[in-house]
Amino acid sequence: MFNGLSRYADSARIVPIETQADVFRERALALASELELDPSAWYLQVLDETRSGRVEPDLGALVRAFWELQRVTGRPDLRDDWRRLADALWNTDTASVLHG
């Protein structure tokens, strides 16, 4: 005990930190819904499951989702996103790709 408080006093208020990968996941799921992509596609199911489980998104599913979004829309910004995510998937230092 420190100053009369349990050392776990703040643990109930801990909020998970949102990462860049979380932002990519939310963007992919929002765009997929907006474009009416098939929600039963494996990569969208994986992204939705990781969101529900509050775990880090699967990079392979993110790459596939952004590849499909770019294919459907032709948007160059989405091509840049899936390429960046693919680099993160193949790079051992994913933090530098997702946060750089």
Lowest mean pLDDT among 16-20, 30-34, 48-52: 16-20
Side-chain half-sphere CA neighbours of 10 within 13 A: 3
Q: pTM higher than 0.85 for the full model?
A: no
Start-end of H helices in 1-100: 20-34, 42-52, 59-73, 76-90, 94-99
Short-list 96, 100, 94, CA closest to 63: 94
Side-chain half-sphere CA neighbours of 70 within 13 A: 15
Short-list 89, 96, 49, 95, CA closest to 66: 89
pLDDT band at 54 (very low <50, low <70, confident <90, very high): confident
74 close to 59: Cβ distance less than 8 angstroms:
no
With 60 as the cut, is the pLDDT of residue 19 above it? yes
